[in-house]
Amino acid sequence: MDLLNTLVDKGLRRELPTREEALALLATSDDELLDVVAAAGKVRRHWFGRRVKLNYLVNLKSGLCPEDCSYCSQRLGSTTGILKYTWLKPDEASRAAAAGLAGGAKRVCLVASGRGPTDRDVDRVAGTIKAIKEQNEGVEVCACLGLLSDGQAERLREAGADAYNHNLNTSEATYGDITTTHTYADRVDTVQKAHAAGLSACSGLIAGMGESDEDLVDVVYSLRELDPDSVPVNFLIPVEGTPLAKEWHLTPQRCLRILAMVRFVCPDVEVRIAGGREVHLRTMQPLALHLANSIFLGDYLTTEGQAGKADLEMIADAGFEVEGTDHVTLPEHRAGGGCHEGAGACGSAPEAPQVSHQVGPQVGPQVGPQVGPQVNEARTDLVAVRRRGAGTDLAPNA
């Protein structure tokens, strides 16, 4: 059985591919790209149908971060000219969230720059969560506040938070190359704290920082072991004024292969196309909907995204539908909380029948030499600092 058929069968059984299979997928050629998308699309549709979940970011506190993450425009010493403001008041954050919800978003992601929240910060965010929940029935709220101390995840859960986001970003082996003010282990610890508190864990990666295929596979396999319910896949936005401003390694084709790899390794998880899709996928964004079942609507934390109206048109034109609040995102076996006992709980399901799905020509591990990231043309014209929405007097993009 060829590579793609093997990956489809494993994806339908929630069985972990081998590292060699994941690497072989990343090494497939552009000529085989549509076969890759078709194969991963079978797994995506099996677990999530044609639904697309919309998420909306609210940047509660922008800039002035003491951490030195090389990819981030809010980092210590940043010269990017981004919006800088302190905490939004609960009513301000609720108004910002309302714009995204009116545009079709199902989840609001409350984000604040910084190493991690103080207990006072947690109280502040708790008030914001309550305000949003009271004014919007059925909304999901995810908090993203940095590294958590003992007891803080529980307090957020008590305040009504549904989820907590903290990305691993890159492999453990290369983590020290992008950040020195905290460790990879710190990030793992925060995801585990969220799990333990009963929050839905959200953790993902950033592709395009100069990493190898092995690094990409390492971080995605680490995510599989942590077992988050959602995996955001960010594509580096090389913002001027950050150390990674000259890193343009991604092509639309490579982005699609990365998303396909994530789908096969995490078949029944909400895979979300996050920051950078407009910059790197560009006109191939609709194809990515066949791999991921979730996107961010509108703008990001410090940069502008595609117009919200264009997002909705893209989803409809591609034959997908926006997921409503009346629909549970995750498959039943995950939504019931039964998949958080370690990697084995969401691993192979031997009772499932062997299913064969022929998906095009033979593609196997011997597809050619392993190749690194392809250098993409710099598209600085597609990178715009956010000047609207939260922290401004202008209407948000939603």
- Is position 282 annotated as part of the catalytic site? no
**Could you tell me if 198 and 240 are in contact, meaning their C-beta atoms sit under 8 angstroms apart?**
no
- Find the catalytic residue in 14, 69, 224, 266: 69
- Find the catalytic residue in 13, 14, 44, 65: 65
- Find the catalytic residue in 75, 107, 109, 339: 109
- Find the catalytic residue in 14, 124, 142, 339: 142
Beta pairing partners, 169 = 205
236 burial level (CB within 10 Å; 0-12, 13-18, 19+): buried
- Find the catalytic residue in 13, 14, 44, 72: 72
CA distance 332 to 21: 28
- Buried/exposed 178-204: b ≥16 CB within 10 Å, e otherwise: bbeebebebbbebbebbbebebbbbbb
- Is position 72 annotated as part of the catalytic site? yes
CA distance 255 to 277: 9
Average pLDDT of adjacent 10-residue blocks, the chain of 398 residues: 92 98 98 98 98 97 92 86 93 93 96 96 96 92 98 97 98 96 97 98 98 98 98 96 94 98 98 97 98 96 94 98 95 72 43 39 38 69 94 91
CA distance 222 to 205: 11
pLDDT of residue 83: 92
- Is position 109 annotated as part of the catalytic site? yes
Q: Is the model's pTM score more than 0.95?
A: no
- Is position 144 annotated as part of the catalytic site? no
- Is position 266 annotated as part of the catalytic site? no
* Four-way CATH pick for 33-324: 3.40.50.2300, 3.20.20.70, 3.40.50.10320, 3.30.70.1350: 3.20.20.70
